[in-house]
Amino acid sequence: MARKIQKTTTSATAAALRSSGGMPMSINVQSEIGELETVIIHTPGAEVENMTPKHAQRALYSDILNLPLAQKEYEQIEHVLSTVAQTFQLKDLLVKVLENHSEKVALVERICRNENVTDYFDDLINFSPNKLATCLIEGLPARIDNLTAFLNDDYYALFPLYNFYFTRDASMAVGRQVLIGKMANRVRLRESLIMDAIFRHGKLFATSVINPYDDGANRPEVLIEGGDILVARDDVLLIGNGSRTSSQGIDFILTQLCAQREEGRKYVLVQQLPDTPESFIHLDMVFTFLDRDACMVFEPLILEDNRYETVLITVDNGRVARIKYVPDLLSGLKRLGIDLEPLICGGREDEWTQEREQWHSGANFFAFAPGKVISYARNLHTIDELAKHGFDVIPAAAVVTGKANLKKTARCVVTIDGSELPRGGGGARCMTMPLRRKPVKWNG
């Protein structure tokens, strides 16, 4: 199964690169719901199977995955996305970068230095681009050539990137720029280094890169992850403030917005998040956009009274003009002209069901067009909530076999199997990194 998927997705990436005519592809993401044109994904591979229960906590997983089942589930989301947009496989992009010797050297040096394995540099640099890309993602076993190495409990010199199929976190397109994530856990640092190399390559994508790691001070308190960054509109950002994205990380983003010195106003809505449970790690686990006028919310946190504040920040002509509290996320968006009807994760009847389905990424939807979204089929009460609001429920298998035509429905939720993938702690939005979306006609 893994070999078949890799062959298919590699050819899809090659076709997408050819379609650009050899010119770098421009980045443009001005919303969460605009019709998807291009997206980066990563089919989970041996890096997931290279995890043991001992390493699950280090990997930030709640459980270990069955790789064949996870790949079978992922194949559904890959097929659905490939029917509506160009898809790039992350590993294929990394191989392209590693084909350039100077960029290969720079990336390997940076990884070896940051992970304290400089004695492996010569081995890594002599690998072919494909073999090196595989090692950087799936892990590199440690040499056992002395007593210290023999007694070391760690099997790997470079640990597998267990979380890399969640392509959302390590980089995010905001407008025409790419912001590199500054990850809360060092186990994910290499993901950011790889994404930075891909977007700085120059021959793949035309964009400017903003990387908090480039800060000379490299302040540890600055944390930013893509699951907390939602592009509501070209002038409105939503940012979650919790264990993965710090207030200092948000200040870094504000500094970047001010440095652009664009005329007019931009707005940042900040939603504070609990540190626990782990299912609340990102804003997109409790709030996602579904359509121009609808969103999915985890009701207890987004709509009910609680101690987690919502803050509206106004940036006017390159400076922070005002910071104030607003009652909640939806009222803050409404003040900015985005009036959304909240659909409830887990349905409206049972708080226990809401909590269970939020735990399994029930609020984590990915929109590939206005009113057209992807989610796990397992969250039955959440899917029923969408059906009650006019969303056609379409199993991914029907899209794969051609029995369903996504262009013939005004509103739909495409449901993918989700017994294994959710164990990694994320949903459809977590597994996608959009590069281009069409503009949204907000009054249409």
The DSSP annotation for 357-404 comes to HHHTTTT--EEEETTEEEEETT-HHHHHHHHHTT-EEEEHHHHHTTS-
Cβ 289 vs Cβ 295: under 8 Å: yes
| Residue 154 forms part of a structural domain | no
| Residue 128 forms part of a structural domain | no
Res 56: pLDDT: 47
| Residue 406 forms part of a structural domain | yes
Res 66: pLDDT: 83
What CA–CA distances, in Å, run from 49 to 139, 186, 289, 394?
11, 20, 33, 30
Token code pair at residue 20: 């650009």
What CA–CA distances, in Å, run from 297 to 294, 349, 385, 439?
10, 14, 11, 24
| Residue 125 forms part of a structural domain | no
Which residue positions in the chain have pLDDT lower than 70?
1-21, 51-63, 215-217, 444
Res 217: pLDDT: 56
Res 219: pLDDT: 83
**In what side-by-side order are the strands of the sheet with 229-233?**
229-233, 236-241, 265-272, 310-316, 319-326
| Residue 82 forms part of a structural domain | yes
| Residue 369 forms part of a structural domain | yes
Cβ 189 vs Cβ 163: under 8 Å: no
| Residue 441 forms part of a structural domain | no
Q: How far apart are CA 103 and CA 64, in angstroms?
A: 34
Number of domains in the chain: 1
Report the CATH number at residue 293. Answer: 3.75.10.10
| Residue 32 forms part of a structural domain | yes
Res 13: pLDDT: 67
Res 7: pLDDT: 45
Cβ 227 vs Cβ 281: under 8 Å: yes
Structural domain boundaries enclosing 214: 2-105+160-420+427-435
